[in-house]
Amino acid sequence: MGKKLFIENKYNSFKKTILVDGDKSISIRTLLLGSQAYGNTLIENILLSEDILSSINCLKKLGVKISLNNNKCSIHGKGLNGFKFKKNIILNAGNSGTFARLVLGLLVKSPYYIKLIGDRSLSKRDFARVILPLQKIGATFKVNNKKTLPLQIIGSTFVNPIRYFEKRGSAQCKSTIMLAALNSPGQTVIKAKKSRDHTENIFKHLGIPIIVKKSKYYDEIKIKGQKDIKSFKYEVPSDPSSCAFFVVLTLLSKNCNLKIQNVNVNNSRIGYIKILNKMGAKIKIKNVRTKYGEKQADLYVKSQPTLKKITCPPNLSSNLIDEFLIIFLAAAKASGVSSFSNLGELNKKESPRLKLGSKLLNQLGIKTKLTKDSIKIFGNPTIGLKKTINVKNYYKDHRIFMTSVIAAFTFGGKWKIDDIDSYKSSFPSFLNIVKKLGFKFKIV
């Protein structure tokens, strides 16, 4: 039997400043673009999580020289489509949906079939969303009917400049097409439902010809390909999605103050802060500066004993897609019934998160009303648990693990959580920060 995390909550109050690990989305994008640049790219404060290590191993298999020295990563790129690899290589993306999807965009000229595989959770996820546009661009795939991993991709010598309508609000789909467009001789045009815009920002920063026209719900992105990319230096800010766990821990604990330094506060990533503030939190974003076209700042959070219910605007879904689980936990402690809709995508993540999030709340004694794409949460601000909660069979979803740990410290009861390494795919310092804030747990 695998090890379990045991938590029996003792009340704890803290006043601390913390630094959270580097942003996962930006770490993956800088790696991919560094691999397409000419010369030595240096990425500082890169996230050293399992998803990133899988990404680095895949790029090495594609012939890119990469070295890691603590959180400094240097990449020796050989320019656009400069991969050098043998026939029959297999890329293992592990748990990383972002890397697995985005790297396909850079393989549209591959002269041989390349096999892409992933872990059990990634092998259940949908790849049709990137296969379809990449086929239009010129790639050919060998894949099962469900369009899941493992798959094989082979490219073509001509990369079609396409027009594509991305309707899901998926930054991964949008970015995959944008990366493929780098190799196209013409202009690729994407109309994309709003989602995180790190790929756009880094393209602009690197001088790649890109025009972005923003409107309320959709952006129009035009890219001209085949422009050389110069090597670059990038310092990755902290991941706002990882911060969200400690933001909610602080809000739901008593007499706590937390400062989180140097956080990526890109508008497309801080929907959860806006929602929590609407629920009555007073999270402050201070000392905002812009670096590499991305906003960074420090977050200030204080305990908030009385949170109010929220009706989450459906158009915000892709803006806080990775934070819903922890927001659900805040809603479970808020007064009144909170509603979240337009959440079909949430069941397509590392686990069926909408279903499992609801199940976790039910285990806590919180009533929910669940449909295939929405949830109502009947909050209970005075809940205090005495029972034992077992968290298992959750596809090792890192965000379910971390949400469970925060629930254990804020709802009481005795907790036994399986698959204790799951958090390492996105946030390897998570348990160290938990300890630093004075919380106790045992691994048995």
- Per DSSP, helices labelled H in 310-389 are 324-332, 353-363
Asked if 322 is part of the footprint of ligand S3P (rule: CB under 6 A), the reply reads: yes
Position among 130, 171, 192, 331 found at the interface with ligand S3P (CB under 6 A)? 171
* Shortest distance (Å) from residue 440 CB to ligand S3P: 30
The stretch near ligand S3P (CB under 6 A) out of 164-172, 212-220, 256-264, 434-442 is: 164-172
* Shortest distance (Å) from residue 173 CB to ligand S3P: 6
φ, ψ of residue 87 to 5 degrees: the values are -65, 160
* Shortest distance (Å) from residue 381 CB to ligand S3P: 29
248: its two tokens:
């909610």
* Contacts for 278 with CB less than 8 Å, ≥ 6 apart: 310
* Contacts for 61 with CB less than 8 Å, ≥ 6 apart: 85, 89, 90, 91
The stretch near ligand S3P (CB under 6 A) out of 145-153, 169-177, 271-279, 402-410 is: 169-177
Nearer to ligand S3P, 4 or 29 (CB): 29
Q: Is 81 left (phi over 0), alpha (psi -120 to 50) or beta?
A: left
The stretch near ligand S3P (CB under 6 A) out of 61-69, 167-175, 269-277, 293-301 is: 167-175
φ, ψ of residue 197 to 5 degrees: the values are -115, 35
Asked if 25 is part of the footprint of ligand S3P (rule: CB under 6 A), the reply reads: yes
Nearer to ligand S3P, 99 or 441 (CB): 99
419 classed as catalytic: no
48: its two tokens:
């050293």
Q: Taking Cα atoms as reference points, which of 368, 331, 325, 326 lies closest to residue 349?
A: 325
Q: Distance (Å, rounded) from C-alpha 183 to C-alpha 109?
A: 8
* Shortest distance (Å) from residue 95 CB to ligand S3P: 11
Residue with tokens 């802060």: 273
* Contact string (CB under 6 A) for ligand S3P, positions 339-368, x = contact: ------x-----------------------
Kindly name the residue from 51, 322, 418, 419 that is annotated as catalytic.
Answer: 322
The stretch near ligand S3P (CB under 6 A) out of 74-82, 204-212, 316-324, 367-375 is: 316-324
Secondary structure (3-state) at 53: helix
336: its two tokens:
């009144």
Q: Distance (Å, rounded) from C-alpha 319 to C-alpha 385?
A: 32
* Shortest distance (Å) from residue 221 CB to ligand S3P: 14
Asked if 260 is part of the footprint of ligand S3P (rule: CB under 6 A), the reply reads: no
Nearer to ligand S3P, 98 or 264 (CB): 98
Asked if 422 is part of the footprint of ligand S3P (rule: CB under 6 A), the reply reads: no
* Contacts for 219 with CB less than 8 Å, ≥ 6 apart: 191, 192, 194, 197, 200, 212, 213
Position among 172, 184, 266, 422 found at the interface with ligand S3P (CB under 6 A)? 172
Nearer to ligand S3P, 29 or 109 (CB): 29
* 150: preceding bond cis by omega (within 30 degrees): yes
Asked if 317 is part of the footprint of ligand S3P (rule: CB under 6 A), the reply reads: no
Q: Taking Cα atoms as reference points, which of 59, 52, 58 lies closest to residue 34?
A: 59
- Chain positions 44 to 103 lying near ligand S3P, rule: CB under 6 A, are 98
* Shortest distance (Å) from residue 435 CB to ligand S3P: 26
The stretch near ligand S3P (CB under 6 A) out of 69-77, 165-173, 269-277, 416-424 is: 165-173
* Shortest distance (Å) from residue 244 CB to ligand S3P: 12
Inter-CA distances, 194 with 23, 135, 166, 269, 426, Å:
19, 23, 9, 11, 23
* Shortest distance (Å) from residue 174 CB to ligand S3P: 7
Helices (H) and strands (E) in the chain, counts: 12, 23
Residue with tokens 């202009």: 187
Asked if 242 is part of the footprint of ligand S3P (rule: CB under 6 A), the reply reads: no
The stretch near ligand S3P (CB under 6 A) out of 137-145, 170-178, 272-280, 301-309 is: 170-178
Give the burial class of 397: count Cβ atoms within 10 A of its Cβ; 0-12 exposed, 13-18 middle, 19 or more buried: buried
- Is the CB of residue 218 less than 8 Å from the CB of residue 193? yes
Secondary structure (3-state) at 131: helix
Nearer to ligand S3P, 47 or 334 (CB): 47
Asked if 219 is part of the footprint of ligand S3P (rule: CB under 6 A), the reply reads: no
- Is the CB of residue 308 less than 8 Å from the CB of residue 331? no
Asked if 321 is part of the footprint of ligand S3P (rule: CB under 6 A), the reply reads: yes
Catalytically annotated residues: 322
Residues of the shown chain interacting with ligand S3P in the complex, contacts defined by CB under 6 A: 25, 98, 170-172, 175, 195-196, 318, 321-322, 345
